[in-house]
Copies of this chain bind each other. A is one copy, B any other.
Amino acid sequence: MNKPAFFDVYRAEIDTALSRFLDQTSTSDARLTNAMRYSLLLGGKRIRPMLCLATAKALGTDSNKALHAACSLEFIHAYSLVHDDLPAMDDDALRRGQATCHIAFDEATAILTGDALQTSAFHLLTLDDFQQSDSVKLALVAELAQASGGRGMVLGQAIDLSAVGNLLSLEDLEHMHQHKTGKLIESAVVMGALCGSANTTSVDALKKYAKALGLAFQVQDDILDVTGDTQTIGKSAGADKALNKPTYVSLLGLGGAQDKLASLYETCLSCLEDLTDSDTSELKAIAQYVIEREH
């Protein structure tokens, strides 16, 4: 599919803000700064910050009041990619069509780059130019930490590591993805909802939408790993198979994975119907993009 026009508007707004927040939270060391900038700003779909802004907007809140939250998610995502690509982890040389951080710089710099990007994610939520109350900012810190640490994303990565070469049930695979990528995608809407002062009913519906969306994202990733080519998807095609990693395609077959993707999309749309007072058109378009994207 073609990207909807609002994607480019958000993307420009997000990229400008990412660059500004990097300046506001880091560093005078040229090599480290360059590596952080390289890892944060070159490429990437910006799905998480976009989801956060679209959620805030659906609740009637200006994106200026959610930009810090949106970008903190991208800082965490970028750090996780830098560390995930390291030789001791997935040992990947290509990401977003570019050399990975430890290839473009060196391994020690890549470790520190990931570390500093994580710290900046929390730092930027505390900045004075973020126009939210201290209580909302603190709730955002708590949400981001829960989603990204040893109970969230990092737990998913640990499960992923121990799963390489093992037979995994569909349930185990889902549990892994719900943590490794799902928690942060859920957080994107929860943090958007916090910035937009959503009521509990709306947050529940948004969380269900995001949970289905996060899994859909992963199913499509697995499908692209077998149907895509390296140039289009921007990372090494067939990498999962080469590592003998369990995927939705290896467990369900290509047709089964495609059916699963369609069903998750339906779940996304039905959850959004519960948000009767909100304009959810952007959230719908993001779901459609996630399942139809080619990279």
Contacts and interface: CB of A to CB of B under 8 A. Distances in A.
A27 B83 contact: no
A2 B294 CA distance: 66
A20 to B, nearest CB: 15
A154 B32 contact: yes
A134 B145 CA distance: 16
Count this chain's copies in the assembly. Answer: 2
A118 interface: yes
Interface in A54-105: 79-80, 83, 86, 88-89
Main SS class of interface, A: helix
Interface stretch (A6-14, A158-166, A199-207, A246-254): A158-166
A145 B158 contact: no
Interface string A115-151: 1101110110110000000110111011001101111
A158 B119 contact: no
A111 B137 contact: no
B126 A161 contact: no
A142 B127 CA distance: 8
